[in-house]
Structure 1
Amino acid sequence: MTVTPQRTVPPLVLITGPEGILAERALTSVMAEVRVTAPDVEVVRLQAAGYEPGSLMVHTSPSLFGGQKAVVVQDLDEASDELQTDLLAFLAAPEPDVTLVVTHKSGQRGKKVLDTLKKGGARVIDCPAIKTDRDKTDFATNEFRAARRRATPEAVRALIEAVGKDLRELSAACQQLVSDTTGVIDEALVEKYHGGKVEATGFRVADAAVAGNTGEALRLLRHAIATGVDPVPIVAVLAQQLRQLVRVGHAGRGRSADVARDLGMAPWQVDKARRALSGWDAEALGRSIQAVAAADFEVKGGGRDPVYAVERAILTITRERQGSGQR
């Protein structure tokens, strides 16, 4: 006697949140789980944009040959009134052999459908935006952990500084390191693969400037410019580093993890800022931030020589840092 496995995915699933890579992974996971108990499931995907009225009812109606169906409605937040009406009609009398999966990025469009899904007992999978460096640190750490690889905190930090602007690029960088290397992933390994990235170059320039190392900061800047790096992201990193010093300085004492959570930073960033703050005072930081703001205006079209504008900002920062250390 053949025993049919019991389905583990509920008839209704809602994947909600703006982080695309998390939503895609959630959808892949749900469909894999559906196929465990229904390997021959018929999968239908409906995109909210360009939806034709009545399509949902056609695809969810019982088949002459029976079998399970999974209907994926993507981007409910872009749904027309007709799609929302069709979804509400289906939810009022759902077909027992249909698994309905709905994705919704954000916003109020489709709210009635969202509320009806939740009231109907839908499995809700949240995919919140990953924006802060703390969130990106947790994301990268979990990527390595899922691959059963150990990455040092310094390696994770270096990777985020190099490619952390885009979550998909960060994920791809983690996967590259996992597939192309063996053993513990450390900072030297990240530097080997990603040290030439614009963001990494900007952070090295900023670190040298904030430490008061004029010669090294200018050398790194000139090397970056010579290899085609635009001054704009370098100025952006300088501004970010200085703002972090101010924020951590105002936060006062406390566990790094607690301060990081309150500021939306990663603990290693708090520790790094605290180490750098030992050579700064508030007035010097203020003047440095003003110098970077002036450089930002010039590199974005307000000045004649963007490279000289960045050099002048770096000279101001290192002078202020050296002066703070002497006061």
Structure 2
Amino acid sequence: MAANGRRTAGARAGGSRSAIPQVAWREPRAAPIVLVSGPEEICAERAIAGIRELLKAEDPSLEVSDIRADDYAPGTLLAVSSPSLFGEPRLVRVTGVERCSDAFLAEAISYLAQPQDGATIVLRHTGATQRGKKLLDAIRAGEGGGIEIACPAVKRDSDRFDFAAAEFQAARKRIVPAALRALVSAFAEDLTELAAASQQLIADVPGDVTEDIVRRYYGGRVELSAFAVADTAIAGRYGESLIALRQALASGADPVPLVAAIASKLRTMARVAGNREPSAALAARLGLKDWQVDRARRDLSGWSEASLGLAIQATARADAEVKGGSRDSVFALERLVTVISTRAPFGS
């Protein structure tokens, strides 16, 4: 799923098809009914804010009302969407549709048959429950003349890279590939934090955003420390990798993501190893970015098939040990870093 929120009509969860336009959350537009669906809250917030900005730019007298669908007073939707004495445009933002009351559900479905002129109704449904499905199905069938802005969960690394890259592209700010990788690694578990960090760098840094700048701002993040350990070990810098490991552990790093970071790099190296396809073609086939392929090829310098296999086996063993298979996870990590950085069996 691309992080800009685009998806084809008919690709809805559960297999139901949609007859209404699918709009990217980065490019929102107004309609009588706007369904903002999916769990990714930062994308939904951006889309809804964008709709308000568009309507406000068209007419500064815009009236904005907020309704909770789960704590709904009957008659509210029609009251706030109906034209006022002076005919100002209205924006009605409805949250909690996935928990909506029976009264809201009935009135919202009735509203689709006769939307009010000059009113934009934005319905936020996270997809957390099937509640409100009848309303969503009616909107997706075209009742009310609506559009849908899908905000699916951003889970894949490639989607997080796309999201962060788009933040900088939208601001016309350059971030070098290594810095982008470090930034995404630092906020791998929280898209909202990744967005906030991107905006901070965009606002604070006068020139290009480099890897050193990202490390200066966010070097204390566990995930970033994890990739520092992985990078130095894979590069064969034994002493430096042990120092990086001890620094990471001293700063509170959890052994599990440390092993996961190493495993992620080794998996990419294994997928790229021995393949002579151009970077762009190989990246497209493997679901990677061009720079990820280029980085993996650089990382493979000095590695053989045997040493890479040994490192992958050592990583699998360490993964089991840090997840409860050993009483000494620190020793398991030090042994793993030693095997990878020396490219030889432990103790040899």
TM-score > 0.5 by shorter chain? yes
Q: Does 1:225 align with 2:243?
A: no
Do 1:155 and 1:190's aligned partners in 2 also have CA atoms closer than 8 Å?
Answer: yes
The residue that corresponds to 1:5 in the other structure is: none
Q: CA deviation at 1:172?
A: 1.6
Cα pair 2:222 2:252 within 8 Å, conserved:
no
Matches within 5 A, 1:88-167: 88-106=109-127, 108-118=130-140, 119=142, 120-167=144-191
In the alignment, which residue of structure 2 is the partner of 1:298? 321
Structure 1 residue 276 displacement after superposition: 2.2
Which residue, out of 9, 13, 19, partners 2:34?
Answer: 13
Whole-angstrom distance in 2 between the partners of 1:177 and 1:200: 16
The 8 Å contact of residues 174 and 209 in structure 2, kept in 1 or not, is answered as yes
Unaligned segments of structure 1, at least 5 residues: 1-7
AA partner of residue 296 (structure 1): D
| 2:216 partner letter | K
User: Contact 1:235–1:295 (CA<8 Å) still a contact in 2?
Assistant: yes
1:3 match: none
Deviation at 1:81, TM superposition (A): 4.2
Q: Distance in 2 between matches of 1:298 and 1:289?
A: 14
1:188 to 212, 233, 237: 212
Which residue, 40, 44, 47 being the options, matches 1:26? 47
Q: Is residue 2:50 matched to residue 1:36?
A: no
Aligned: 1:255 with 2:281: no
Question: Take 1:80 and 1:262, find their aligned partners in 2: how far apart are those partners?
Answer: 47
**CA–CA distance in structure 2, aligned partners of residues 216 and 226 of structure 1:** 15
* TM-aligned CA deviation for residue 322 of structure 1: 5.0
The residue that corresponds to 2:6 in the other structure is none
**Matching residue of 2:335:** 312
| Total equivalences in the alignment | 314
Paired residues of 1:134 and 1:267 also in contact (CA < 8 A): no
Are the structure 2 counterparts of residues 18 and 152 from structure 1 closer, same or farther at C-alpha, using a change threshold of 3 Å?
Answer: same
- What amino acid maps onto 2:207 in structure 1? G
What residue is the counterpart of 2:294 in the other structure? 271
Alignment of 1:201-216 (within 5 A): 201-216=225-240
Q: CA, structure 1 residues 178+62, in 2 after alignment: closer, same or farther (shift >3 Å)?
A: closer
CA shift, 1:64, in A, is 5.7
Partner-residue secondary structure (3-state), 2:91: strand
Per-residue deviation at 1:259? 3.2
Cα offset, 1:219, TM superposition: 1.7
Q: TM-score, normalised by structure 2?
A: 0.79
Matching residue of 1:47: 68
Using structure 1 for the length normalisation, give the TM-score. Answer: 0.84
Structure 1 distance, partners of 2:36, 2:136, is 10
Which amino acid letter does the alignment assign opposite residue 175 of structure 1?
A: Q
Structure 2 CA distance, aligned partners of 1:36 and 1:113? 30
Unaligned runs of 5+ in 2: 1-28
In structure 1, how many angstroms separate the alpha carbons of the residues matched to 2:79 and 2:131? 24
* Runs (4+) off by over 6 Å: none
CA contact (8 A) 1:163 1:170 kept: yes
Q: Matched residue of 2:109: which SS?
A: helix
Structure 2: distance between partners of 1:22 and 1:292: 35
Q: Deviations over 1:83-130 (max 9, x none)?
A: 322211111122223211112333754343233324133233233433
Distance apart, 1:310 and its partner CA: 0.7
Identity among equivalent positions (%) equals 47
- 1:10, CA displacement in angstroms? 2.5
In the alignment, the residues of structure 1 paired with residue 287 and residue 280 of structure 2 have an alpha-carbon distance, to the nearest angstrom, of: 10
SS in 2 for 1:155: helix
Deviation per CA, 1:148-194, whole angstroms, max 9, x where unpaired?
32222232222223334322222222222222221222222222222
C-alpha displacement of 1:203: 0.5
Q: CA deviation at 1:24?
A: 0.6
